[in-house]
Amino acid sequence: MDMESRRTDALIAVGSLVAIVPATYANLSWTGPYERPIDPAGLVLITIAALSLAFRRSAPLTAGIVAAACGVVYYAAHYPGVFAAAPALASIYTLAVLGRRADAIWLAIGLAVPVYGLMALSSEDPGAGNWMALLSGWLVAMVVIGEVTRSRRAYLHAVEQRAAAETQRAEAETQRAEAQAQRAEAEASRAREAERTREEAALRRAGEERLWIAQELHDSLTHSISVVNVQAALAMELLDRKPERVREALAAIKESGHEAMDELRATLGVLRQSEPEGAEAGLSGLPRLVSRAEGAGLRVAHTVSGHPYALPPEVDRAAYRIAQEALTNVLRHAGAAAVTVAVEYDPSKVVLRVENDGEPGVPGPGMGLIGMRERAVAVGGSLAAGPGERGGFTVRAELPAGAVA
């Protein structure tokens, strides 16, 4: 029992004592014609009975026995007033409220039997105003009221527990609903993030494909068209002076056009996800590329050093395209007469060098040098382009012998 309950019981005990003593001295009730004036002994009995209520919840049966015993002794001594039985009645009520019905009944019997025995042994019957005749009614009332109070408290406690359980279930349902909402939101967020990632990946792939198409078309068609332009200009110049050489120029134009068609067909074949047809884009096609440059009027020296070996397709294609673009730039911008195309095979890399003896010039607005550098970097290599040590212009690419991871 907590301190607050002990304090409450102590106050009840003191309050009972303060109420019983004045009521007894005021002669507000009487127990029969043979009452004698209250003396210190009777006051002690009242005091002990009242103060026993301080233990009505910590030791209810003991407190009730003490109060009932004091009441029986009090009435046996013919002290006046019925209020001395009040502490015993309160103890009986407390036992019933605490669920100790049998103890409450036995305590009521223990108080009623001696009191009614004294009344039976009295020489006169109780008068109409004798409140002790109503003792049995008070005893039954205390047991009944205690039971009703206990039942009501149990009912209210059960209602509170059900309400608390319902509240807990409602809170649990709310928490589950919130958790489900959070999971749904997380799933929706992941789905949105996945969709956004897929869209970004699709856009990136589309951009890479557009860049690849632009590079392929630039590298293949620009070279062929440059050769056609050079041969057409040569044919127009020779038409009046040396008409017999015009046929050679036209043949070169035809070959370049056919080569351009093959390159375009191969590129479109890759776009259709089919096997490329026509011209092969690799270092194995470099002799043909050199031959076409020579047909356009260049003197080309093609050298291969080291032991040639098969390169990964992407590296082989990048080397061919870089050489093609470098020769195209020579035809378009350098005005050179001699070009060196050198391929050096190293165990870990292949080095491609294209040098000319023309003027370095100023690069045009095209994407030639940028495209060559992007191709080299895309396969894990590097490219340097600039004026050569002995004049002219040099393009040097280092490409790895293995595929990029």
Cite the beta strand spans of 293-337 per DSSP E. 299-305
Distance of alpha carbon 266 from alpha carbon 233, whole angstroms: 28
- All residues at 6 or more sequence positions from 347 whose CB lies less than 8 Å from its CB, including other chains: 401
Give me the pLDDT at residue 274, please: 44
Sheet holding 338-345, edge to edge: 299-305, 338-345, 349-356, 393-400, 382-387
Q: Which tens digits make up the pLDDT trace of 257-312?
A: 666 666 666 666 655 554 444 445 788 888 988 888 887 778 888 999 988 998 99
For 157-208, give the DSSP string: HHHHHHHHHHHHHHHHHHHHHHHHHHHHHHHHHHHHHHHHHHHHHHHHHHHH
pLDDT tens, 119-129? 767 655 554 44
C-alpha span between 95 and 60 (Å, rounded) = 6
User: Which pLDDT score is estimated for 127?
Assistant: 47
Per-residue model confidence (pLDDT) at position 106: 92
Return the pLDDT at 368: 75
Which amino acid is it at 108? A
The whole-number pLDDT of residue 214 equals: 64
**Residue 382: its pLDDT value, please?**
93
Sorted by where each begins, the domain ranges of the chain are: 3-129, 283-405
Which residue type sits at 382?
Answer: S
**Torsions phi, psi for 392 (to 5 deg):** 70, -155
Tens-binned pLDDT, residue by residue, of the chain (405 aa) = 678 888 888 888 888 888 888 877 776 655 555 567 888 898 899 899 888 988 888 898 998 899 999 988 888 887 877 778 889 888 999 999 988 989 989 998 888 888 878 776 765 555 444 555 677 788 888 889 989 999 998 999 899 999 999 999 999 998 999 999 899 898 888 888 887 887 787 667 656 666 666 666 666 566 666 666 666 666 666 666 767 666 666 766 766 666 666 666 666 665 555 444 444 578 888 898 888 888 777 888 899 998 899 899 899 999 999 988 888 888 776 666 688 999 999 988 999 999 888 766 555 555 678 888 888 998 999 999 888 777 788 999 999 987 554
What does the buried/exposed string (b/e) look like for 124-160 if buried means 16 or more CB atoms within 10 Å of the residue's CB?
A: eebeeebbbbebeebbeebbeebbeebeeeeeeeeee
Give me the pLDDT at residue 275, please.
Answer: 43
* Homologous superfamily of domain range 283-405: Histidine kinase-like ATPase, C-terminal domain (3.30.565.10)
